[in-house]
Structure 1
Amino acid sequence: MTLKYTKDHEWVSVDGDNATVGITQHAQDALGDVVFVDLPQVGNDYAQGEVAGVVESVKAAADVYMPLAGEVVEVNEALRADPSLANSDPMGAGWFFKVKLAEPSQLDGLMDATSYEKFSAAA
């Protein structure tokens, strides 16, 4: 399994040609208490960088971008029912959606954990 990060503070856990996507600890810290998530529809295809959802907190709303091109195959209904999962466990139970990758080579353009830590520390 490979874990990568985007400059928009999404994490991507890749297993074969499938990926799970969520927001990073840094993103949830910046947002504060998450009160609503708008998740993509299963079956929709997205290009890399396209807005796939929205996360709203008591402080702000932020777009969730598709880190890799692909088709949404599952959304986290538990997160829709309890948006606070994005705060309490953003890298686990607070995942947003799963994608069947269209272009796995796009992974090469994402950051590893060390690069992301440096990037988010400078943000």
Structure 2
Amino acid sequence: MSQIPENLKYSDSHEWILDHNDGTVTLGITDHAQDALGDVVFVELPELGQALVSGEEFGVIESVKAASDLYAPLSGEVVAINESLEDAPESINESPYEDAWLIKVQLEDSSELEKLLDATAYQQLLEQEG
């Protein structure tokens, strides 16, 4: 069973979002997503300062099985990138919610957070997909 921390928000494309309550969020992929991908071997992330548009692709994650696009669950500007993933992409498999965050974003519109799934709704999504 996938871990689904209660303090996070989720997208239906399996990204997690940590709201820092200061107009910024941290994004990563969920335990379910990393498990479905298998062993992650490469991550392509956006540049600092890049504008993200909700619903649009912002990067790629590759595993031994497949490559998957990463989709922005929110609009805003990339203010930090987890550069450690360049040398250790496998940390996504080991610690998807702690060490292996992907990017931090300054939100364009914090009301977009209201459209995201809470832990219960994300669990229901996984059960429907299951």
Residue 47 of structure 2 aligns with which residue? 41
* Cα distance in 1, alignment partners of residues 10 and 45 from structure 2: 19
**Structure 1 spans left out of the alignment, 5+ residues:** none
RMSD: 0.8
* Cα distance in 2, alignment partners of residues 52 and 69 from structure 1: 11
Identity of aligned residues (%): 49
Matched pairs, number:
122
* Cα distance in 1, alignment partners of residues 29 and 91 from structure 2: 11
How far 1:121 moved relative to its partner?
A: 2.0
Residue 66 of structure 1 aligns with which residue? 72
* Cα distance in 2, alignment partners of residues 117 and 80 from structure 1: 30
Residue 101 of structure 1 aligns with which residue? 107
* Cα distance in 2, alignment partners of residues 20 and 79 from structure 1: 15
Residue 6 of structure 1 aligns with which residue? 11
Q: Bigger shift: 113-122 or 17-26? A: 113-122
Stretches (4+) displaced over 6 A: none
TM-score (norm 2): 0.91
TM-score (norm 1): 0.96
